[in-house]
Amino acid sequence: MKVLVSVDMEGLSGVVHPSETNPDRYDYERGRALMTAEANAAIAGVLDAEPGAVVWVADAHGTFRNLLPEDLDRRAHLVRGRPRPLGMLAGLDEGTDAVLLIGYHARAGAGPAVLAHTMSDAILDVRVAGRSLGEIGLNVAMAGHLDVPVVLLSGDDTACAEFSELVPSAVTVAVKQTVGQAAAVALHPQEARERLRHAAADAIARRASIPPVTMAGPLHVEVDLYGPYMVDLAVLVPGVARVGGGRTVAFRAVDVAEAYRLVQLLVQLASIKPD
């Protein structure tokens, strides 16, 4: 069997501030070490349950170059760097049997939630078929499009609740309790890793009882952008139109895969600053 472990950073135990997730800030190396350790805990849990599993790990934060390759469990295959197909879910295909989301955070506008956002600070909201989806929802839907269940998520309590609304039968590990956008009561990192390992094994063992989340196309997608100049760039993409004022664009996608790719493109365009 093949398992994909997608690892983000904001939802790790002990991480509460952008300085721990930003390569240009002083505490980033500590964040990288915590990220790699939680990834290893998830890998170990998967292999506890299925010793013969092939485990792929997608570095899913920022530049996608955060996990420390030399410290990652040598039994895993690491996907790092960008741009790449499927972004945070790089490595996902029809042959994947299960996905685990490690260190994930709540969507933009959720709160209280530690470091909540959706892909970029430039994105205020993404609505697919009228439903607000953050990174959790978009990745769950993308996996479901390929008929792959997302069986586990770890993060703060708000992220876990967001995931449970989408996949009630899946496993969650709340490694910290939210106090605010940059504050939480966190488990000791070693305790978090032990819980993750046990939970990953449990999730893999009962993956057959956790259904994929599917969304039938075509889909109407709306994206609220932070700045009007971002909208000016977004509408240069064929099929994307300005709607509902100065900050919202919309498009019609034939399926979740097309919606996922276009949202990724809009995130990249939003990072372009005007001259």
Known catalytic residues? 117
Query: Do residues 148 and 97 lie in contact, with contact meaning Cβ atoms separated by under 8 Å?
Result: yes
